[in-house]
Chain A
Amino acid sequence: MIALREKFKIPKKLKAIAALLLIIGILTILSGFFTKGLSTDNAVSAQFWGVLMYNTIFWTLICNASMFFVCFTTLAMGGWQASFRRVPEAISCMVPIFGVLTFLILFYVVAIDHNYHIYGWLNTDVVQHDEVLKGKQGFLNVKFYLIWTVLTLALWSLLGWRMRVLSSEADKGPLLGEKGKKYIWKNTVTASLFVVWFALTVGSTVPWFWMMSIDPHWYSSMYSWYTFASSFVSGLSLIALWVVYLKNNNYLELTNQEHLHDLGKFIFAFSIFWTYLWFAQFMLIWYANIPDEVVYFKHRMQGAYRGIFFLNLIINFVFPILLLMSNDSKRKYNWIAFMATFIILGHWMDFYQMVMGSLSKQEVSLSWFDFGVLAFFVGVMIYGVAFALTKKPLIAKYNPFLKESVIHHS
């Protein structure tokens, strides 16, 4: 067997880039906090907290998508991911960190700032005289919102942590026969718990709470799946980016083009899946043309957000379908890295228009501030994931599926 470079050492260049991004990010957030965040006018402070909200939600969800990737491949007995499984595991280490950030920001918005501009349903005076919001009160209230948010983030973190602990067993000694069966069984149980909780949260309730309730009258049954698809395809892109990065630095010796090809297929397929949901949500509302429902799309498609609206579709659908369709494109490291970056940015913009499109309807607020906050989150992500990668061997030597992964043909 070839000699494996067991542990990842963070290159100085990566550290420098992450530090630079962090400094830019912190300065941007501080300047935004003092100019907008502290404003007593809800509409102004919403411009600051809204940006923080969609960034933190986006990064929590895409890091959690990594753990979802680990769990569903485990449940499907997919052995091919064994050679690079430590990468999504390391990315999922960010869930508790981004989760705490998300909770703090949402807690501030809901319980301290009482930002009526972001969440109209917080305003009890309005709710009392509004039949629709009155009916939704059982779900849309501060207590349930906070409890459910805490539960969501805590269980994601806990089950993710459990999966990572189980994975460490594959470093210690051979898992043969009964031992191997037990290892797989334990993994299967935790993974299925995670997937069920994932479905109850990202698959349904959490996007309703965090983002859809910004337009409390409007609803779409596609919204959660849409959010899931958006975050999942960017999560897969993030995994691919780290895999390519580690490959370029001569780590992950057992991962090759075959694994990259399958990751590429996933990115391609879920880009189309996202488009399918995008269209399913849009088309019915457009066709029925009922004022209550059209409010969501009116200013997005025909107002200030027209450019972003169609750019979103071009970046996240037209580009992936044309540029990732061929066999060769999914097997080239640099091409996958380029497309993955592109798709992450595209879906970040998608989250931007989902949140800010409702908070600033008259004009597109996208500016240096959004990119500064993005820099902060990317910086934290790079530091955190790189640090998590140094903690464990990059390849779980005794994973029962490792051989299947080594001989994998896509």
Chain B
Amino acid sequence: MKKKKFVVLPFQEEAKLFDAVKMAKEDGYKIHDVYTPFPVHGLDKALGLKESSLHKAGFYYGLTGLSVAFFYIGWIFNFDWPHNYGGKPHFSFPAWIPIMFELTVLFSAVGMTYTFCWLCKIAPGVKKHHFHPRATDDLLVLVIECTAHTNAEEVESKFKKNGAIDTSIQYAEIGWWWGTYNDDTIPFTKDNSSIVVA
């Protein structure tokens, strides 16, 4: 994948982040994403993100689990291996419900987990570019993607005035690839300047 140019703008406070997001939108910059260590209420609306389709996928996974359980048990107890359990009818629907319920939960949970990994491009043994190591710790990191019309230095200095700290300009691939994070910078222990700066 081609490398792109990004301006990385970490903030320490939510209020400043919201102001920055608003400013970036008003000035017409292309916001790549915002990385936060915890869910920030209202950020999705401020960014104008459209609703995730994850829960719809979850519903259909659940439906799949429900029907798999129903048809599989139905096939076993009625056609493949009909047994006489204490004189109960072969089609003992109430007794199947707990299993149908469990499989609904299992399918939707596992399915949604994998879908979530796919959408966020994360998985075990897979690596993607980290814009700032402290995005998983205590900084709220706004990343702006540079287009042909963006003056990266100007953006950096502009947001520095509005509370961004430890800013940088980075060239990065935004995909995911095999690898581990062993060699990555650990916050506060190593010098953060090891991040590639253009």
| Chain A residues engaging chain B, CB cutoff 8 angstroms | 279, 282-283, 286-287, 325, 327, 409
Q: What DSSP secondary structure best describes chain B's contact surface?
A: helix
- List A contacts of B59 (CB < 8 A): 325
- List B contacts of A286 (CB < 8 A): 94
A326 CB to closest chain B CB (Å) equals: 8
7 cross-chain pairs, A with B, having the tightest CB-CB distances, nearest first: A409-B41, A283-B94, A286-B94, A409-B42, A287-B95, A279-B97, A327-B51
- List B contacts of A283 (CB < 8 A): 94-95, 97-98
B32 adjacent to chain A (CB < 8 Å): no
Query: Quick check: A282 and B42 within 8 Å, CB to CB?
Result: no
B42 CB to closest chain A CB (Å) equals: 6
A349 CB to closest chain B CB (Å) equals: 21
Given A409-B41, A409-B42, 7 other A-B contacts at CB below 8 A?
A279-B97, A283-B95, A283-B98, A286-B94, A287-B95, A325-B59, A327-B55
B101 CB to closest chain A CB (Å) equals: 9
Cα A287 to Cα B92 in complex, Å, equals 9
Closest to A408 in B: B41
Query: Quick check: B41 and A282 within 8 Å, CB to CB?
Result: no
B75 CB to closest chain A CB (Å) equals: 22
- List B contacts of A279 (CB < 8 A): 94, 97
Query: Quick check: A282 and B51 within 8 Å, CB to CB?
Result: no
- List A contacts of B42 (CB < 8 A): 409
B70 CB to closest chain A CB (Å) equals: 16
Closest to A284 in B: B94
- List A contacts of B51 (CB < 8 A): 327
B151 CB to closest chain A CB (Å) equals: 35
- List A contacts of B97 (CB < 8 A): 279, 283
Question: How many residues on the B side are at the interface (Cβ–Cβ under 8 A)?
Answer: 9
| Chain B residues engaging chain A, CB cutoff 8 angstroms | 41-42, 51, 55, 59, 94-95, 97-98
B159 CB to closest chain A CB (Å) equals: 25
Cα A409 to Cα B14 in complex, Å, equals 15
B90 CB to closest chain A CB (Å) equals: 15
- Please list 15 pairs of residues, one from A and one from B, whose beta carbons are closer than 8 Å in the complex, sorted by A's number: A279-B94, A279-B97, A282-B94, A283-B94, A283-B95, A283-B97, A283-B98, A286-B94, A287-B94, A287-B95, A325-B59, A327-B51, A327-B55, A409-B41, A409-B42
A375 CB to closest chain B CB (Å) equals: 36
Closest to B44 in A: A409
Cα A320 to Cα B129 in complex, Å, equals 43
- List A contacts of B98 (CB < 8 A): 283
Cα A282 to Cα B93 in complex, Å, equals 13
Cα A35 to Cα B42 in complex, Å, equals 61
Cα A322 to Cα B173 in complex, Å, equals 42
Closest to A410 in B: B41
B11 CB to closest chain A CB (Å) equals: 19
Closest to B45 in A: A409
B103 CB to closest chain A CB (Å) equals: 16
Cα A134 to Cα B41 in complex, Å, equals 60
- List A contacts of B41 (CB < 8 A): 409
Cα A282 to Cα B94 in complex, Å, equals 9
A144 CB to closest chain B CB (Å) equals: 36
Closest to A276 in B: B101
Cα A343 to Cα B14 in complex, Å, equals 40
- List B contacts of A325 (CB < 8 A): 59
A107 CB to closest chain B CB (Å) equals: 40
Closest to A283 in B: B94
- List B contacts of A282 (CB < 8 A): 94
Closest to A282 in B: B94
A323 CB to closest chain B CB (Å) equals: 13
- List B contacts of A409 (CB < 8 A): 41-42
Cα A337 to Cα B40 in complex, Å, equals 30
Cα A325 to Cα B59 in complex, Å, equals 9
Cα A214 to Cα B51 in complex, Å, equals 51
Cα A287 to Cα B98 in complex, Å, equals 13
Cα A279 to Cα B96 in complex, Å, equals 12
Closest to B95 in A: A287
B156 CB to closest chain A CB (Å) equals: 31
B192 CB to closest chain A CB (Å) equals: 33
- List A contacts of B55 (CB < 8 A): 327
Cα A283 to Cα B95 in complex, Å, equals 7
Cα A283 to Cα B97 in complex, Å, equals 9
B112 CB to closest chain A CB (Å) equals: 14
B178 CB to closest chain A CB (Å) equals: 36
Closest to B98 in A: A283
Cα A38 to Cα B97 in complex, Å, equals 46
A314 CB to closest chain B CB (Å) equals: 15
A285 CB to closest chain B CB (Å) equals: 10
Closest to B43 in A: A409
Cα A283 to Cα B98 in complex, Å, equals 10
- List A contacts of B95 (CB < 8 A): 283, 287
Cα A286 to Cα B95 in complex, Å, equals 9
Cα A247 to Cα B10 in complex, Å, equals 41
Cα A61 to Cα B97 in complex, Å, equals 30
A250 CB to closest chain B CB (Å) equals: 25
B87 CB to closest chain A CB (Å) equals: 9
Cα A215 to Cα B48 in complex, Å, equals 58
Cα A282 to Cα B51 in complex, Å, equals 39
Cα A94 to Cα B37 in complex, Å, equals 47
